[in-house]
Structure 1
């Protein structure tokens, strides 16, 4: 295990928390690779979710939101890639419900304990017979195969396992997600799943997820597009044996830190794996009027196509950063802004400072580029993550259905 900066929290090798199982298989929704899978808890688990704000919310997304909102409880989530079941009308609604029902029957549980998640091409009807046959073949294993079954244009599975002590009991949090294009969460433009054996009430879990998402998944962008299908779902089955976590629990801050670590890691994994991306970009804003404005500015910078192109071209053009700041409605000291790229100061008091351009150009060629900005308008901070804009992004999306 690798000890993090939080002494009571460890990043571990991938493993499912106590009482969780998973499996995946190939049913032909994609040409190759697994494209159907599930997550299953031994017992009903507290559940929480956040969902895309795109007006054309896909049938499985709407169904899962409705299911979780009933009692903040799930025992399983069935998921597929290769077909989004979005913009598919009444038939799409029926197919999402049929996936839920088929999964419930296979597991011998109530349908209202099953969530459904789909991702892939929009506007094509779901081949339910293939899905149904695949569900009957899924088992209860401890493999990580489901983490790959949801991938579309991703280059790799995105996973993390974190362990901490709650009431002197080892608690495990394991998360995975998919996301590479259509990334501009509000919420959530990806599929993300977090499992934990901690004991926490569903409503409390929902509050924690909603709060943490604003600092993590909602602070990444790849292309400014918000998808129709996406969600982040958390399940907590209480099998670790701890006392129920509430804000007054002595170890609640530890769990919150571990939870944020999971979501932050997955968010950065998505940003770094943006379609065609060659670099991960992190923007840190200080001197914000308030936290909301600091986050707004950070995301505006990382989401600017001019900034993204600048970074791809290793061009030390700090004016791109200034224009991105100026496009926001945030409070800014117009005569007091400072900008650093990979630790090299380029702007002070909103004016250029002497720097070696060759040094900045060289540092921009690194796999990770960090931009620090001081707005000099307050004491709040914000962070956002994204990637550069490459020729390959256009190539990938020009042939997405091919």
Structure 2
């Protein structure tokens, strides 16, 4: 696309081989995934068939599961290298699933923290795309930013199994998942700062059910689930009992950064659509591109893209190096979410009424931008957390509690 060159001068420069791979990923998304978006968005058997066909093409093209471990059947790319591709892959919400990289968070979590039986049973099928996973953390009527209030409980039986009871919501992909990782309280009471654990639950377990779908601004894919005395064996505990928050912190840092990379790709897509519209749409006074207010939209959107991209890649570099990236991830998450909303809003404005209808991806991209400011913690959470962390370096007395 004409505007895609804006990605090349704001992120770390990849090697020639990685550049070629990024171009192949971008071409796959443009030519194979984006044309299938209406089918994939609608869900149902047709979406399943379309996704399976995309999986076959991804394997044939040598693009399958690029960031997943090679010993499990993935491409074996380290995170620092995959980050150079994730923006192109994420230009479509369906890109990670189509290319087999969607389970990266779960594969990483299970490889690091699950017992040997769980790793042997689930990791290879997960990388192969034969099973799907989801993650259930937040609960109705409980602030998602305060996991200490988690009410879902897991009680250990005399035979060592766990019995889980509770309700979760905004669980992405729960309706088609084979496994769900559940945050549950294994000791203490809601509000206690300890006693939270993660358990892996097969969704075909008795007592597991989908309560309802929760459309997000009209988009499908989120669900409320119930666990009514669901039993799982003792080895389905992920990590140590009571150690959920440390594992969740690892997962969130990586997950938020991946989202930021993908939001950059979606914003770039909206930017390209805006520029193409401005250059080709003619009115009685000539092309839209000649209007100064349209030029203002283009400038502001490009500025937002180019100032956000380095923040995201700074977080990538720290995570790849195993360093503390909490401040950088918080900055990147807020900046990328705002940027996606801003750029897609400008693109819609330049398109006029056409930007509100079904003939472009802009309504979906804008919806994603608005949801981005709440997903994985609202802007306010990251703003206060980063500010407090910075201010503590100037003296504890300047940071008020709360």
**Greater relative CO, 1 or 2 (CA 8 Å, sep 6+):** 1
TM-score w.r.t. length of structure 2: 0.25
TM-score w.r.t. length of structure 1: 0.25
Structure 1 or 2: more strand by fraction: 1
Structure 1 or 2: more helix by fraction: 2
